[in-house]
Amino acid sequence: MTDTTLETDRTSPDLRGMDAAAAAAAAAAVARARNAYVGGATKPLEWRERQLRSLRRLLVDGADVLCDALAADLGKSRTEAMITEIGFTVNEIDHLLKHLRSWLRPERVSVPVTLPFARARVVREPLGVVLVIAPWNYPVQLALAPLAGAIAGGNAVVVKPSEVAAATSHALARLLREHLDPNAVQVVEGGVPETTALLAERFDHIFYTGNGTVGRIVLEAAAKHLTPVTLELGGKSPTYVDDSADLEVAARRIVLGKFTNAGQTCVAPDYVLATREVLDRLKPLLSKAIGDFFGDDPASSPDYGRIIDGRHFDRLCGLIEPSLVVSGGGTDARHRYIEPTVLDGVTREHGVMQEEIFGPVLPLVEVAGIDGAIDFINDRDRPLALYLFTADSSTRRRFERETSSGALGVNIPLAHLMVPDLPFGGVGPSGMGAYHGRASIETFTHAKGVLTHPTRVDTTALIYPPFAGLKRRLVETLMAPRRKR
Ligand code: NAD
C-alpha cells in the first residue's frame, strides 16, 4: 500500500518557475545561517547550552501565546497543549542539557595489534546548516524538538513551520526571533513556494516531518546536493487486542491514543484488529470510555479538538460509512467538528482501510486470531507504530519477532514518545532515521573517526615494503586470515 492519504493537493515544486521573492528570502536565510556556522559560532558547547536554555525559556515564557495559537489552529485544549507540545519539548530539552556533554565526549575505541601505541576515537562533529520542515498536527513539538537536537549537535538551523497551522507558525516565528541567536537560527514561514525555494538551497542535513508524498519531493531535492535526509512520515498504525488482554484498560488507552488531538497524531492507533468475540466485548467499553472522557456531547468538551481545515474535514467525513457506525458519527462543518467515531464490520476493502485516517475515526477489523493479525500487519506497509494489548508474554515475543514497525507499544499507545532514550522514527514507508535524546545527537552530528599514531618509535616499519625474508614471513603470519574453529 502506498501513502496516498494525506497527499497534498498543492502542486509539486517546479524549481524553474520558482517564486522569485521566496527564492531570495530562502537564499538570504541560508546565507546568514551558513555564515554563522562557518564563523564557528554554533560549535562551542557553551553556545549550544545557552541556546537550549533560551529555547526552554521561550516555551515557558511563551506558553500562553503558544496555547492560544494551538487553540486557534486545532481547538487544542491548554492541558493537551501543555502535555503534548510544551511539556514534551521542555522534557526533551532538559534531557539533552543533562546528557549533552557526556554524549559528545569523544569515544575511545580499541586498535588492532598491528597499530601498537595508536589511539582511535570517535569524535562527534556538527553537520553544518540543517533544514527542519515541520507539519501542522503538533506544530510546536515537531518544529522545536528537531531544532533542539540540531542545536545540541552544534549546527546552524533554518526552521520552516507548517503554514497549515498558521497561528502557531506566526507565534513560533516571532518567539524564535526574540529568543534565539538571530544569525544561527533562521525561521522561514510559508507554504509550497517557500519550501520549494528552501529545497533548492544546499543544506548539510534535511529533517522533514509530514506525509510521504512530500517526503519523496524532499528526498529528490536533497539528492541534487547529496544532502542526507531524515524523514519522519506516517501511515496506518495497527492495534491488535488479544483475548488475554484487560479489555477495560485496553479500551480506555485506545480511546486516549486515538482521540487525543482529534486523532490527528502520526502514531495514533489507526485501526483495531481482534477476533469477533473480543470486538463484541470491546465495543461497549470503547463507547463507555469515550463518554467518560468527553461526556455525552464531545462538541462541548474542552478536552476535545477540531479538524485542522475544511479539506481534511471533508476527507474524513467521506470515510465514515453510516451503516458501520457503532459510536459517534456526528459532524459539524462550521466548526470542523467530528465526533469520536467507532466503525465495526470494517474489512480490508473499505475506503477507511485504504489510507492513513489521521482523524477521530476508529475502524474495528475482525481477524481469526494472532496468526491472522500478524499476516494482516505483514501484508501492509511497515507502520510507524504497532500496538498490542495482551497479558501473554509469548504473544508479545511473537509480535517482537514476527512484525516490523517504527516502534512497538505493548498495552499502551503513544507513550513510547515519552521515553526520551527510545529512538523515534519509522521504517520503510513510515520513515528513515530517528531522533529524541541520544538518537538526536546521532542524527545531527557526524561520527568522525580519528586515528593518532605516534612517530617516536616507528612501529609501522613492519609494513613498509620491500617484504622479504623474515619480515615477509612475520607479516604474512600476522596478517593472514585464520580459520575459525
Ligand atoms: P503539512 O501539510 O503541514 O506538510 C508538512 C510540511 O511540508 C509543511 O511544512 C509544508 O509546508 C511542507 N510542504 C507541503 N507541500 C509541499 C511541497 N509540495 N513541497 C515542499 N514542501 C511541502 O503536514 P502533513 O504532511 O499533512 O502532515 C501529516 C502527515 O505527517 C501524516 O502522514 C502524519 O502521519 C505525518 N506525521 C509524521 C510524524 C512523525 O513524527 N513521524 C509526525 C507528525 C505527522
Structural domain for 193, as ranges:
20-233+434-446
Residues 405 and 438 in one domain: no
Q: Is the pLDDT score of 1 beyond 50?
A: no
Same domain, 378 and 245: yes
Residue 349 belongs to domain with CATH number: 3.40.309.10
Cα separations in angstroms, 75 against 19, 67, 254, 263, 293: 33, 10, 21, 13, 16
Q: Are residues 126 and 49 in the same domain?
A: yes
Q: To test the ligand 1 pocket, which listed residue (233, 315, 435) has its Cβ within 8 A of the most ligand atoms?
A: 233
pLDDT digits (tens, 9 = 90+) for 197-251: 999 999 999 999 999 999 999 999 999 999 999 999 999 999 999 999 999 999 9
In this structure, the chain runs to a length of 485
Q: Provide DSSP, 97-143.
A: HHHHHHHHS-EEE---TTSTT-EEEEEEEE-SEEEEE--SSSTTHHH
Residue 313 shares a structural domain with residue 385? yes
Residue 97 Cα to ligand 1 midpoint, Å, equals 28
Confidence band (pLDDT; 50, 70, 90) for 431?
Answer: very high
Residue 476 has pLDDT above 90, yes or no: no
Residue found by looking up cell 476508529 in the block? 362
Q: Is the CB of 86 under 6 A from ligand 1?
A: no
Average pLDDT over residues 141-152: 98
Q: Rounded to the nearest whole angstrom, what is the distance from the C-alpha of residue 211 to the centroid of ligand 1?
A: 5
Among protein residues, the one whose CA lies closest to atom 19 of ligand 1: 192
Instruction: Report the nearest-CA residue for atom 39 of ligand 1.
Output: 232
Do residues 176 and 276 share a domain? no
Is the distance from CB of 331 to CB of 340 less than 8 angstroms? no
User: Quick check: is 136 in a domain?
Assistant: yes
Please write down the long-range contacts of 331-336, taking CB distance under 8 Å and 24 or more positions apart.
332/299, 335/75, 335/299, 335/306, 336/75, 336/306, 336/307, 336/308, 336/309, 336/310
| Same domain (yes/no): 286, 151 | no
Residue located nearest, by CA, to atom 24 of ligand 1 = 210
Q: What is the mean pLDDT of residues 107-113?
A: 94
Ligand 1 near 160 CB (within 6 A)? yes
Q: In this structure, what C-alpha cell is assigned to residue 432?
A: 528513515
The H or E element containing residue 31 is: helix 20-38
What is the model's pLDDT at position 474? 85
pLDDT at 371: 98
Question: Do 246 and 215 share a structural domain?
Answer: no
pLDDT band for position 362 (cuts 50, 70, 90) = very high
Q: Which residues are catalytic, by number?
A: 232, 266
> Whole-model pTM?
0.94
**Residue 18 has what pLDDT?**
66
458 alpha carbon to ligand 1 midpoint, in Å? 57
Number of domains the chain is built from: 2
Please tell me if the CB atom of residue 309 comes closer than 6 angstroms to any atom of ligand 1: no
255 neighbors 233 (Cβ within 8 angstroms): no
Query: Does residue 442 share a domain with residue 358?
Result: no
**Atom 3, ligand 1: residue with shortest CA distance:** 135
316-332 average pLDDT score: 97
